[in-house]
Structure 1
Amino acid sequence: MASTDGDRVYYVISDLHIGGDEQLEEVAFLDELLEFLEGLERTEEDAELVINGDAFGLWEFTTAEGMEKFDILAERYPGLFEQLRATGENVQITLLPGNHDHELAAYDEYVERFAEYNVTVLQEQSFTRPVGDREIHFEHGHQQDPNNQIEEWGNPNATPLGYYYNTLVTSRAGQLSDRGRYNWLKDVQAITPTERMPVWLLSKYFYREMNPFLRYALVPFLLLFNISAVLAILAGLGVTGVWEPPIEWTTAFLGQFGTAGTAIWFLLAINVVVVGLVLLVAIPVHLIRRDIKQTIRRFGVFETDLTVDAEAPYEDAAREVFAERPQTAIFCHGHTHQPKLQPVDGGCVVNSGTWLKRFHRREGVIGLVPPVFYPSYQLCAVRIAARDGDVVVDFEAVEKPSPGTEELTLTERLLTVGRPPDPELPDGTRI
C-alpha cells in the first residue's frame, strides 16, 4: 500500500558550508557525506532529505557572481552532484536557502540547475511538512539572528552584517590560510559565536605560528605566572617589613635537588622580578581600561553585541509558530551549529547542527597560557517520523574521527591531557 505524506520519514542536515575561495574549497567531511547520501539512495523507506540551509558557502565566493558560483561548485565537486542525482531518484531532496546561500532564493536559474540533479530548491524562508497527524516547521534560523536577517528575501543585493563578516574575513582567511606554518586559518568559518574569534586567533598564533624557540621559552614563564605573582607579593611585603619571607629555608630546600633545584631557584627569581614589574604596570593599565569602557558605555558606542543567544530567539519563534498552528509539533532549524533538542509548549525545538568542525575551548590548568581550542566533528542527521500516533525525533550520528591528534601541537596535547572533549548528541524524544 502506498504511504501518505504523513507516514514519510524525514532526514534533516544543515550547515555544510560547501565551497568558497581557495582553501575553503576543501570539504573535510566529503567522504562521510557521500556515504550518507548513498545510504539514502538504497533505503526502502518513503523518505525525504531536507537540507535546512547553508548547504553551500556562496557568500564566501568573492571572485564569482550569480550563476558562476553554481558552475564552480559543479566543477569542483562532480562526485557530490552525481550522488545527489542518484539519491534524488530514490528519495525527495529539498534544499532550503540559508543566509550563506541566500542567492539560491535570488536567482530562478538555481532552481532549474539543481532540478537537473533531482534537488528541489524552495525559494522560501520556511516551509512545513506533515508527520503523522502533526506538522514540522522548517527554517534555517538566520531570520532570528539580527546580524544575519535578510529583510528583502530574494534580493541578490541583500547584505546584512554577517555578509560583510564572511566576505571580508572568512573568504579572506580562505585566501591566506596556506601562507601560515600550518593550513589552519580556513577554520575561521567554524568559530561560533563570532566573539570567540580574537581569542582563537591568539591561541593559534601562540601554538602554531609563533617561533617554536620563543614559544618554548615563554611556556615555563606563563605556567609559573600564578606562583610567581604570589611570590612577588610576598617579596614586596618583605621589602616593606610587613612579613619576612623564608628565603633561607627555600634555598636550603631547593638545594637538596642539586643542579635542578638551582635551576628552579633562578627561574623563579627571574619570574618574580618580571611578574613584579608586570603587576606594577598592570594596575594603572587596568584602571585606564576600565575608565575607557565606562566612557564608551556612557556614549552608547558599540551597543550591539555580535553574539546572539543560541536558544532564546528560537524558543520564542517556536512558541509563535505553535500558537498560530497548533498542529505543529517540531520547530526545526540550524544556523547556530549546535545540535540541540529543547521541549517547548508541548512541542520541541530541534537544531540539526553542522558538518563543519566544532572547537571546544580548554583553559590552561594553571598560569597564563592561551586556551586550547580542541577540534572535533559532531556530524549528524536528524530523523523525524510518526510512530504509534506519536512524532519521534532521533539524532543519528555520522562517525568521523576527531582530528585532535593531527591538528594539535605537542604543547596543546600536553596541556589537554585527560581533558579531550566528548561531545554527545541530544537524546531523542517522542511527542
Structure 2
Amino acid sequence: MATDTDDRVYYVISDLHIGGDEQLEHVEFLDELLEFLERLEETDEDAELIINGDAFGLWEFTTVEGIEKFDVLERTYPELFEQLRATGENVRITLLPGNHDHELAAYDEYVERFAEYNVELTQEKWISREIGEQAIHFEHGHQHDANNRIEDWGNPHATPLGYYYNTLVTSRAGQLSDRGRYNWMKDVQAVTPTERMPIWLLSKYFYREMNPLLRYSIVPFLLLFNISLLLAVLAGLDLAGIWSMPVDRTEAFLGQFGTAGTAAWFFLALIVAVGGLLLLVGIPLYFIRRDLRKTIDRFGVFETELTVDPQQPYEEAAREIFSEQPETTIFCYGHTHRPGIREVDGGLLVNTGTWLKRLHRRDGIIGILPPVFYPSYQLPAVRISAEEGGVAVEYERMTKPSPASEELTRTERFFTVGREPEPDLPDRYVVEPPRQKQVAETTE
C-alpha cells in the first residue's frame, strides 16, 4: 500500500566545517554549495535536506563565545544564509549538531536564529525519517568516537579530547597559515586521521617551506642513496658468484678512461661500501620493526583513545539500531570524512563524506623522500528515495576542479607522476523492504 512517504526524497550532506579563526573562515567550496542549494530551491520533489553534523566549525572560533559565534557566521557568509532562507521556502532543511558544532545543542538561541533562515535545528543526538515501508537513522557519528564523544550532551562546556586538538592546533593553524610561503596550514582540517599530522607537517615543510636551493641540493644525495643500495646488492651478487656481469661490464668500461676511470671506480666502491653498511644495518632493523609492530598489534598497545577505528564502532551501532528497530534499514552518518556504503546485517551503513578538501597520501618514486599529500574534492550529497522494490541510495557529486596544479610544487608533482589519486564515490544501492528480506531469509 502506498504511503505519503513513497515520494519523499532525502538529500544528506555533512562535514562542511564552515567558519573558524582567520584563514579557516575561507570556504573553498562556497560557490558549489550555493549552486547545490539553488538547485534544491527550484526542485519540484517532495524533498528534505538533512545537514548531518559539523556544518560549522564552532570549535575553531577561539575569540568569541556562545551565540556570538552565530553573529560572526551571519556576518561572514551572508550569501549562504540568504540562500538557506530561499531554499528553505521550497524544501525542509534539518540541521543536526556534530562535535565541531555541538554548541548548537547547548544554546536554545541557536534554534531561534536558524529558524529565521528556514533551517530547523534539532538539538537531539539523532533523528529518524520514514521512507516507504522503511526508516532511516541519521546521526553525525561522533558519539561512537572516544576522542569526540560528548558525555554530557547539551552542556556548553563539554570538552572531549578532540575539542582541545581543534582549539589548540586547528584554530592556531588558521591564525598562522598566511605566514607560510604558501597558505597551506589552513588545510589542517583535511588531515585525517589526525595521527598523520606529523608526517603531513614534515611533507609540507620539505616541499613548501624549505629553502628551494637546499631542497634541490638534497635531492641528488637522496638519489645517490637509493643507487648505493642497488650497487651494494649487485656487488654482493658478484662476491657470491651468482651474477658477475654488471660488475665486470662496469670495470671494463671504466678501465678505458685511465686515471679518471680509476677515480670513478673508487667512488663507486665507496658508494657500495656505504650502501652495504646501510643494508647490513637496515635488514635486521626491518625485521625487528616488523616483529615489534606485530607484537604491539597483538597486545593492542596503540589502540588507545588516540587511535580511532573508522569502521567497527559504526558497524556495531548500526547492528544495534537494526536489531532494536526492524523497520530501520539505513544508518546514515558522517564524521570520518570517508564516503562509503557497507552492508551490515541486512541493512545499509552509509557515510556522507565531507565537502572539505581531501588529502591522499602518496609515497614518491624515491621512497626516502617525504610522502606527498595529493589534494582533491568530492563534494558528495547522498540522495535517498523510495522506488519500486525498495529504497535507493545514491551519491551525487558536485563538480570542482582538482587544486593540485596550484597547490603542489613541481617537485611534488614530479615524484608522484602516475600515482595521482582518482577518488570515486560508491555505486547506487537499493535496500529491500524488511518484509521482503524476512521472506527471502525464511525461503533460504
TM-score, normalised with respect to structure 1: 0.89
Of the structure 1 ranges 92-101 and 282-291, higher mean CA displacement relative to structure 2 is found in 282-291
What secondary structure does 1:137 align onto?
strand
Asked whether the 8 Å contact 2:3–2:132 carries over to 1, the reply is no
**C-alpha distance in 2 between matches for 1:386 and 1:262:** 79
Q: Secondary structure of 1:215's partner?
A: helix
Displacement of 1:293 after TM fit?
9.6
CA contact (8 A) 2:147 2:305 kept: no
Kindly state the Cα deviation for residue 253 of structure 1 after the two structures are TM-superposed.
3.4
Question: Given the alignment of the two structures, is residue 314 of structure 1 paired with residue 319 of structure 2, yes or no?
Answer: no
Aligned pair in 2 of structure 1 residues 233, 394: CA closer, same or farther (>3 Å)?
Answer: closer
CA contact (8 A) 1:3 1:46 kept: no
Equivalent residue number for residue 399 of structure 1 = 399
Give me the whole-angstrom Cα distance separating, in 2, the residues matched to 1:418 and 1:286.
28
Q: Residue 124 and residue 255 in structure 1: after superposition, are their counterparts in 2 closer, same or farther (change >3 A)?
A: farther
Distance 1:374 1:300, change over 3 A: closer
Q: Residues 209 and 323 of structure 1: is their aligned pair in 2 closer, same or farther, counting only changes over 3 Å?
A: same
> What corresponds to 1:197 in structure 2?
197
Specify the code of the residue in structure 1 equivalent to 2:391: V
Please tell me the residue identity of whatever aligns with 1:158.
Answer: A
Partner of 1:130: 130
- In structure 1, distance between residues paired with 2:270 and 2:184: 35
- Identify if the C-alpha distance between structure 1 residues 329 and 78 changes in structure 2 by more than 3 Å, giving closer, same or farther: same
Structure 2 CA distance for partners of 1:268 and 1:141, relative to 1, 3 Å: farther
Distance 1:305 1:256 in 2: 64
Question: Hey, what does 1:208 align to over in structure 2?
Answer: 208
* 8 A contact 2:238–2:247 mirrored in 1: no
Q: Conserved in 2, the CA contact under 8 Å of 1:225 and 1:367? A: no
> 2:415 matched to which residue of 1?
415
Give the structure 2 partner of residue 150 of structure 1: 150
SS across alignment from 2:419: coil
Count of paired positions:
428
* Structure 2 residue aligned with 1:228: 228
d(CA) in 1 for partners of 2:256 and 2:383?
Answer: 65
What residue identity is the alignment partner of 1:173? A
Question: Structure 1 regions of 5+ residues with no counterpart?
Answer: none
User: How many angstroms does 1:4 deviate by?
Assistant: 2.4
Shift of 1:364: 2.0
Distance 1:342 1:175, change over 3 A: same
SS of 1:47's equivalent in the other structure is strand
Which piece of structure 1 moves more, 420-429 or 300-309?
300-309
- Partner SS state of residue 103, structure 1: helix
Q: Give the counterpart letter for 1:181 in structure 2.
A: R
Post-superposition offset of 1:289: 9.0
Name the structure 1 match of 2:28.
28
Tell me, yes or no, if the aligned pair for 1:190 and 1:357 is still in contact at 8 Å.
yes
Q: Does 1:186 align with 2:186?
A: yes
The percent identity for this pair of structures is 73
Distance 1:197 1:254, change over 3 A: farther
Q: Contact 1:42 / 1:90 at 8 angstroms: preserved in 2? A: yes
Aligned ranges 1:376-395 → 2 under 5 Å: 376-395=376-395
List per-residue Cα deviations over 1:205-245 (Å, max 9, x = no partner): 111111111111111222342331343577799999xx999
Whole-Å Cα distance in 1 between the matches of residues 22 and 330 of structure 2? 38
Number of the residue aligned with 2:45? 45
Sort the Cα spacing of 1:231 and 1:110 in 2 relative to 1 into closer, same or farther, 3 A: same
Q: How far has the Cα of 1:367 moved from its partner?
A: 3.7
Residue deviations 1:350-384 (CA, integer Å, cap 9, x gap):
00000001111111234411111111001110000
1:4 and 2:10 matched: no
C-alpha displacement at 1:48, in angstroms? 0.4
- How many Å apart are 1:85 and its aligned residue? 0.5
Change over 3 Å in CA distance of 1:359–1:113 after alignment to 2: same
3-state DSSP of counterpart to 1:222: helix
The 1:395–1:267 alpha-carbon spacing in structure 2 relative to 1, beyond 3 Å, is farther
Spell out, residue by residue over 1:127-171, the C-alpha distance to the aligned partner (whole angstroms, 9 max, x if none): 101111110000000011111100000001101111111111111
1:91 to 2:95 alignment: no
Q: 2 CA distance for matches of 1:121 and 1:326? A: 27
Alpha-carbon spacing, 1:337–1:300, altered in 2? closer, same or farther (3 Å): closer
Does structure 2 conserve the Cα–Cα contact (< 8 Å) formed by 1:222 and 1:367? no
Query: Partners in 1 of 2:40 and 2:420 — Cα distance?
Result: 33
Distance 1:90 1:263 in 2: 80
Query: Offset at 1:118?
Result: 0.5
| Partner residue, 1:337 | 337
Residue 196 of structure 1, CA deviation = 1.2
Q: What is residue 166 of structure 1 aligned with on the other side?
A: 166
Residue number in structure 1 paired with 2:105: 105
Judged with a 3 Å threshold, the aligned counterparts in structure 2 of structure 1 residues 325 and 109 are, in CA distance, closer, same or farther, namely same
Change (3 A) 1:270 1:11: farther
Structure 1 residues 426 and 244: alpha-carbon distance in aligned structure 2, compared to 1, 3 A threshold? closer
Residue type of the alignment partner of 1:163? Y
249 and 117 in structure 1: CA distance in 2 versus 1, 3 angstrom threshold: same
RMSD after superposition = 3.5
Q: Does the 8 Å CA contact 1:6/1:130 hold for their aligned counterparts?
A: no
Distance in 1, matches of 2:305 and 2:230, equals: 36
In 2, Cα distance between the equivalents of 1:18 and 1:263?
62
String of CA shifts for 1:69-123, please: whole Å, max 9, x gaps.
1111110110001000000010000000000000000000000101110101100
Distance 2:397 2:66 in 1: 35
Q: Does structure 2 retain, via aligned residues, the 8 Å contact 1:224–1:367?
A: no
Per-residue deviation, 1:7: 2.8
Task: Give the superposition deviation at 1:276.
Answer: 6.2
**Alpha-carbon separation, structure 1, partners of 2:37 and 2:116:** 17
Quickly say closer, same or farther: Cα 1:387–1:283, change in 2 above 3 A. Answer: closer
